[in-house]
């Protein structure tokens, strides 16, 4: 199988690069190489490609050999490889296989569905396969909770294969760009009115709420869900302790900057590590 040589990425960054390369191969099969991919998944390949060649005994023998070869390829899979190439082939012979297998029998579904729907289905299964391969490597090389979370966040920042194939990814980028431009214009128009007032998003320190404040948690989560930690880049969550830098006005998980709620109560002006380093320079 082309491109299937043993490859064992061991770090989060290596696994993510492997994920991106395999993803690129599958996307190539479903977009730029879609005609070739569609043809290779034809379950009736023998009917219209070889029956017209039955002119002589020699062609008949050739037809039987080709038929035997194609008949074996019943459950075809779409593989993406670390070299950004793709291949339609049989599943691995060994049990269990070296890596998780893609969806089997994609060729059987091809003629029973509209081409667009079939490609979307293959894309969804491709997304699932890529995740299973990435986290297989994570389990094999002992990624802990933090590594797995970081790997998932890196993967989740990319659009899925399904979003790329269906065109949803372009639509999302366009919508984000429109919202960003609108927000930028609105911010400029209101800049004079705001002056030097402190940010009114939420308090300087944000701590987990009690069960009695569950309704407030939902409102808080909805209002500030797009706020990102200045250290790890993850979203705001109402059940985590957060603190805001009084210099750059960025928010941080307390755990990311090693500030506890108890310690925060005694801080009059908090400066994040980046701002602290800036002030320390001559």
Residues 66-78: tens digit of each pLDDT: 555 544 457 899 9
Q: Which segment of 102-116, 206-220, 232-246, 247-261 scores lowest on mean pLDDT? A: 206-220
Other residues' Cβ atoms within 10 Å of the Cβ of residue 12? 20
Q: What single string gives the DSSP state of each residue in 253-275?
A: EHHHHT--HHHHTT-SS---HHH
Considering the chain, what is the average pLDDT of its residues?
76
Average pLDDT of the residues in 225-229: 73
pLDDT at 63: 53
Q: Say which residue, 195 or 152, is predicted with more confidence.
A: 152
For the cut 70, the answer to whether the pLDDT of residue 225 exceeds it is no
pLDDT at 234: 80
Q: Which segment of 33-42, 129-138, 218-227, 258-267 scores lowest on mean pLDDT? A: 218-227
For 157-193, write each residue's pLDDT tens digit: 999 999 999 987 666 655 555 555 555 555 444 433 3
pLDDT at 268: 85
Q: pLDDT-derived band of residue 231, with 50, 70 and 90 as boundaries?
A: confident
For the cut 90, the answer to whether the pLDDT of residue 156 exceeds it is yes
What percent of the chain has a predicted confidence (pLDDT) above 90?
37
Q: pLDDT-derived band of residue 218, with 50, 70 and 90 as boundaries?
A: low
For the cut 90, the answer to whether the pLDDT of residue 23 exceeds it is yes
Q: How far apart are CA 26 and CA 103, in angstroms?
A: 13
Q: pLDDT-derived band of residue 137, with 50, 70 and 90 as boundaries?
A: very high
Closest CA to 267 of 205, 199, 197: 205
Average pLDDT of the residues in 143-170: 92
Torsion, Cα 62 68 71 75, to 10 degrees, reads -110
For β-strands 251-253 and 242-244, DSSP reports them as: antiparallel
Q: How far apart are CA 19 and CA 127, in angstroms?
A: 10
Q: Is the full-model pTM beyond 0.85?
A: no
Q: Which segment of 41-55, 128-142, 222-236 scores lowest on mean pLDDT? A: 41-55
For the cut 70, the answer to whether the pLDDT of residue 129 exceeds it is yes
């Amino acid at each position: 199988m082309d491109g299937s040589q043993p490859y064992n990425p061991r770090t989060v960054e290596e696994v993510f690069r492997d994920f991106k390369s395999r993803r690129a191969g599958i996307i190539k099969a479903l977009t730029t190489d879609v005609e070739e991919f569609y043809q290779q998944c034809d379950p009736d390949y023998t009917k219209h490609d070889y029956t017209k060649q039955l002119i002589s005994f020699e062609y008949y023998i050739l037809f039987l050999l080709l038929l035997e070869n194609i008949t074996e390829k019943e459950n075809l899979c779409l593989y993406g490889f670390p070299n950004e190439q793709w291949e339609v082939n049989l599943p691995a012979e060994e049990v269990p296989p070296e890596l998780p297998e893609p969806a089997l029998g994609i060729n059987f579904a091809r003629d029973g569905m509209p081409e667009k729907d079939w490609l979307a289905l293959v894309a969804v299964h491709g997304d699932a396969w890529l995740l299973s391969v990435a986290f297989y490597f994570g389990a094999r090389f002992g990624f802990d909770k933090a590594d797995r979370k970081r790997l998932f966040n890196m993967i989740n920042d990319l659009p899925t294969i399904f979003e790329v194939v269906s065109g949803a990814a372009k639509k999302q980028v366009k919508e984000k760009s429109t919202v960003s431009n609108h927000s930028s214009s609105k911010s400029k128009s209101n800049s004079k009115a705001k002056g030097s007032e402190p940010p009114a998003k939420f308090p300087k320190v944000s701590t987990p709420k009690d069960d009695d404040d569950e309704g407030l948690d939902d409102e808080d989560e909805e209002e500030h869900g797009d706020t990102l930690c200045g250290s790890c880049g993850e979203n705001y969550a109402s059940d985590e302790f957060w603190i805001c830098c009084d210099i750059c006005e960025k928010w941080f998980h307390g755990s990311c900057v090693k500030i506890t709620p108890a310690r925060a109560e005694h801080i009059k002006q908090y400066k994040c590590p980046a701002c602290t380093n800036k002030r320390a320079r001559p």
